[in-house]
């Protein structure tokens, strides 16, 4: 079985997220999503609209997602890859090059972002109304 992992906050879930998860799942047989916890988002200076538990519930309802784990700190990626026997690490290409060091543990793939959609753009557009 080929295992894939991706990381993110997945706040204000939108079709760009779904397409990322679909393309990630196409790279293997099992997709794990490491979901940023509320405490980790605070460390990053972010606040999600939905709580960790609510975001986790939404991700678990998506047919491409097989397993959701918490992301507590930036540095846990290597341990997650080893613990969950990951073959492919996937991130959006806005992170290109930032996780290349993980290529000693598994294949690293940066997928193109979906044009014209992001959580930031949604939040910006909602403030206009």
Active site residues: 44, 46
56 CB neighbour count, 10 Å cutoff: 19
d(CA 88, CA 129): 41
How long a stretch of residues is the chain?
Answer: 129
Shortest CA distance to 6 belongs to which of 123, 126, 106? 106
Strand-pairing partners, residue 34, are 7, 69
Shortest CA distance to 29 belongs to which of 63, 61, 66? 66
d(CA 90, CA 5): 6
């Amino acid at each position: 079985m080929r295992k894939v992992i991706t990381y993110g906050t997945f706040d204000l879930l939108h079709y760009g997220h779904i397409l990322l998860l679909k393309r990630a799942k196409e790279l293997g047989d099992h997709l794990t999503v490491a979901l940023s916890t509320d405490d980790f988002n605070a460390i990053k200076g972010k606040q999600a609209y939905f709580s960790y538990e609510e975001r986790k519930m939404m991700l678990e309802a998506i047919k491409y997602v097989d397993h959701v784990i918490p992301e507590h700190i930036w540095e846990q990626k290597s341990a997650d890859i080893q613990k969950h026997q990951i073959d492919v690490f996937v991130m959006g290409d806005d992170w290109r090059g930032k996780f290349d060091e993980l290529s000693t543990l598994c294949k690293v793939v940066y997928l193109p972002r979906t044009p014209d959609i992001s959580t930031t753009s949604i939040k910006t557009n909602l403030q206009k109304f």
